[in-house]
Amino acid sequence: MATARFPVLFITASRVGDAVLTSGLIRRLSDEIPHARFTVVAAPLTAPLFRDLPNLDRLIPLEKEKASLHWFKLWRMVRGRRWGLIVDMRGSALSRFLNARRRAVRKSLPPGMEPVHKVIEAARVLRVEDEPPAPFLYTSAETEAAALAMLASGQGPILAMAPAANWVGKTWPAERFAVVAAELLAQSGPLPNGRLLLLGGPSDRFAAEAVRRVIPRARLIDAVGKVDLLTAYALLKHARLFIGNDSGLMHLSAAAGAPTLGLFGPSDERLYAPWGRKTRALRGPREFEVFKRIDPQLNQVVCHMFDLPTAWVTAAARKLLAETEEDGLEAPAVLPEPSEGAIVLPLPERQAVLEAPAEADAIEPGSDMDEPSAPASSSS
């Protein structure tokens, strides 16, 4: 007798970074429920991340509408099915009005509870915070082939960079990315004869221009505005090192297993540091709370990243390259500081995991999280 299907409705986060950080939950469900069939609801921008998911019944790009009418439209699309499980990472009230055996809905942190990394916060939704699932995306043979085709024309280790972000406040100057790239890829640098992979969306071409000029065209892989997010993820699997601002591409790099150096300023690395053994978060001499005092709403149209020196980033990149040179080499918990005042975080998964409060079998919905809380949270 054929095993009965177990339908799962998974409503993922609307931002790229948050969607990547919570993607490990889908893999955990797929591994533990082999007969699960997934319907994934995502923002139009993040939907392509899930197109290669095995056992995918339906992928629904949900466009936000005024007065939250998008939720009513979604209800009409999914109301006719009895769901085995509904997982709602946006914390909406939708699952209350659907037929489901189990519900797991993201809730806002209770007042006074210490914030934790977003991977751990997501794991709490399924009550697996003791072993939080690492971000993971599925790729098909076609997606992997598309990435390999872009890399086929050259040889040498790949330095990947994403010099843009969704807010100028947390964007390290592109000219400094260029200086770091030139030093790392020089004949005297740690990646001689290496190639430069540039990533970003169509609106990021100006930020990438300054970096593009430091390398001969034959050693440049310019993917800015040319590939979708899942193909970018497949490209990053081949990167020897990634350097970028706190952004969705930074989280894609970490999920792809590339050594990842994330640059932070007015965003909180305790919540959004790149996740993984081969990742580091680097900031200048000012901690996140300092930026909150000078820019309480985190929305000023001014770059807050000028105090992160180029030398610190170059030093941190060299050390991360050295620590990940041999396959399987265990990296230390904390990267030595490249200069006095620089802050380089320990690995996120070695953070203390706070115990989630006991809850009922059906986790009650929280507030609708479709609206971004602040531009400093991770996104594309």
> Helix, strand, or coil here: 199?
coil
- Summarize pLDDT for 211-253 with one digit per residue, the tens: 999 999 999 999 999 999 999 999 999 999 999 999 999 999 9
Q: Amino acid identity of 216?
A: P
Tokens linked to 288: 């996140």
- Distances 37 to 8, 31, 57 between C-alpha atoms, Å: 6, 12, 6
Q: For the chain, which domains are there?
A: 6-125 (3.40.50.2000), 145-350 (3.40.50.2000)
For the chain, list residues with pLDDT below 50.
1, 328-380
Q: What is the β-pairing status of strands 343-344 and 279-283?
A: antiparallel
Q: What is the pTM of this model?
A: 0.85
